[in-house]
């Protein structure tokens, strides 16, 4: 298949491109300099390439910054998705949109399934839900909701990812305070990329899927596991989100139930974390 990857320089996009290298598919990696999803004319490159599948990982996903600049959030996450989906529909391509656990309000404790009604609490989540709705207008579409990503490339604009932030703080000998009342499903981008591509290759039914590593934890529990695996002694204390003021409201429980894709090889999050730490050379 001919597969275009938008956001190819990003954390998830770069792993999708790398996973594709080991397959017989032809990959067109599109970095931000190659395509601006918010600009319809720029998206015309997709018409020239005529891929059979377009994977759109581009996003403005700094959650607090989205509150300050909702226009940009909608330009990139919603109008960008619309531009890509419309071109995909026109060239008969499958449109793949990467969405987020933040489309949910976090009141359900036992893990959201795909059929649960979204109810985003912040501008980022609202703009991504709008992106999902535009993507659904393309007859062949997949929406993969991911969460709390960690990948070798690190997220642009976020200065890496949570795992790297924790390791850097520990190395500086800082006191580390992490919220213990917000729960999510940490997800390794390499494993997500492998399973996403398997799902597309197998031609599973079009629609929405939760693409996360198995299980869930609080951000504090996630940090503790990082330090346990690395054998690091750190001054780590749990705090409540009330003590850690942030601009955007965040869902308290955004755990995603990955049952629909688990059989394609989604690992439990602790295993995925250990694999990441080995990949980065922190563990042998
Ligand atoms: N990171 C998370 O924890 C998380 C959680 C839930 C959902 N997600 C979703 O997962 C997807 C991938 O996230 P990620 O962590 O891989 O993000 P990332 O590392 O920031 O990668 C996004 C890529 O898209 C590019 N991009 C940004 N705006 C663009 C635009 N307007 N037009 C074209 N390209 C653009 C970026 O390029 P520049 O850096 O050069 O601008 C970057 O290479 C996103 O859709 C995000 O909403 C992420």
Distance of alpha carbon 199 from alpha carbon 177, whole angstroms: 38
Number of domains in the chain: 1
The rounded average pLDDT for each run of 10 residues, N- to C-terminus, in the chain (284 residues) is 97 97 94 98 97 98 97 98 98 98 95 98 98 98 98 80 96 96 97 98 98 98 98 96 90 97 98 97 90
Would residue 283 count as lying in a domain?
no
Per-residue tokens: 193 = 């990329």
- The string of pLDDT tens digits covering residues 214-250 is 999 999 999 999 999 999 999 999 999 998 888 999 9
Cα of 220 vs centre of ligand 1, distance in Å, is: 24
Give the DSSP H or E segment for 202.
helix 189-202
Residue 233 lies in a domain: no
* Residue 21 lies inside a defined structural domain of this protein: yes
Q: Which of 10, 60, 151 to mutate to test the pocket of ligand 1 (most atoms within 8 A of CB)?
A: 10
Specify the residue with its C-alpha closest to ligand 1, atom 8. Answer: 100
92-112 CB burial, b ≥16 within 10 A, e <16: ebbbbbbbbbbbbbbebeebb
Pocket (CB within 6 angstroms of ligand 1): 6-7, 9-13, 32, 35-38, 57-61, 76, 80, 98, 100, 128, 146-149, 155-157
Q: Which domain holds residue 145?
A: 2-158+185-213+256-267
Ligand 1 atom at shortest distance from the alpha carbon of 76:
31
Atom number, ligand 1, closest to the C-alpha of residue 35: 33
277, part of any domain:
no
pLDDT of residue 44: 96
Q: Is residue 226 one of the residues assigned to a domain?
A: no
User: 20-60: per-residue pLDDT in tens?
Assistant: 998 999 999 999 999 999 999 999 999 999 999 999 999 99
CA of 80 to the centre of ligand 1 (A): 12
The gap from C-alpha 110 to its chain's centroid, in whole angstroms, comes to 20
Say what the pLDDT of residue 155 is: 73
Is 167 a domain residue? no
Catalytic residues: 124
Whether 91 is covered by a domain: the verdict is: yes
Does any domain span residue 276? Answer: no
Structure tokens at 226: 């990082």
CATH, residue 10: 3.40.50.720
Please tell me the predicted confidence (pLDDT) of residue 85.
98
Q: What is the DSSP letter of 214?
A: B
Question: Could you say which DSSP state residue 256 is in?
Answer: B
């Amino acid at each position: 298949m001919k597969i275009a990857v938008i956001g190819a320089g990003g954390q998830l996009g770069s792993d999708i491109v790398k996973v594709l290298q080991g397959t017989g598919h032809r990959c067109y990696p599109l970095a931000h300099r190659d395509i601006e999803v918010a600009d319809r004319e720029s998206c015309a490159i997709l018409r020239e390439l005529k891929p059979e599948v377009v994977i759109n990982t581009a996003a403005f996903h700094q959650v607090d910054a989205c509150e300050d600049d909702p226009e940009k959030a909608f330009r990139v996450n919603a109008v960008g998705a619309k531009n890509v989906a419309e071109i995909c529909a026109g060239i008969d391509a499958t449109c793949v949109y990467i969405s987020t656990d933040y489309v949910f309000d976090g009141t359900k404790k036992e893990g959201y399934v795909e059929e649960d009604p979204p109810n985003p609490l912040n501008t980022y989540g609202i703009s991504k839900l709008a992106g999902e709705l535009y993507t659904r207008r393309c007859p062949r579409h997949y929406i993969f909701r991911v969460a709390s990503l960690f990948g070798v490339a690190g997220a642009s604009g976020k200065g890496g990812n949570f795992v790297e932030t924790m390791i850097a703080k520990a190395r500086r000998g800082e006191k580390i305070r992490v919220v213990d009342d917000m729960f999510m499903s940490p997800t390794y981008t390499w494993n997500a990329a492998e399973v996403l591509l398997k799902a597309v290759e197998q031609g599973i039914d079009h629609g929405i899927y939760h693409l996360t590593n198995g299980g869930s934890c609080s951000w504090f529990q996630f940090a503790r596991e990082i330090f346990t695996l690395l054998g690091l002694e750190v001054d780590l204390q749990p705090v409540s989100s009330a003590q850690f003021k942030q601009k955007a409201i965040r869902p308290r429980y955004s755990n995603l139930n990955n049952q629909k894709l688990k059989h394609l090889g989604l690992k439990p999050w602790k295993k995925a974390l250990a694999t990441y730490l080995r990949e980065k050379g922190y563990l042998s």
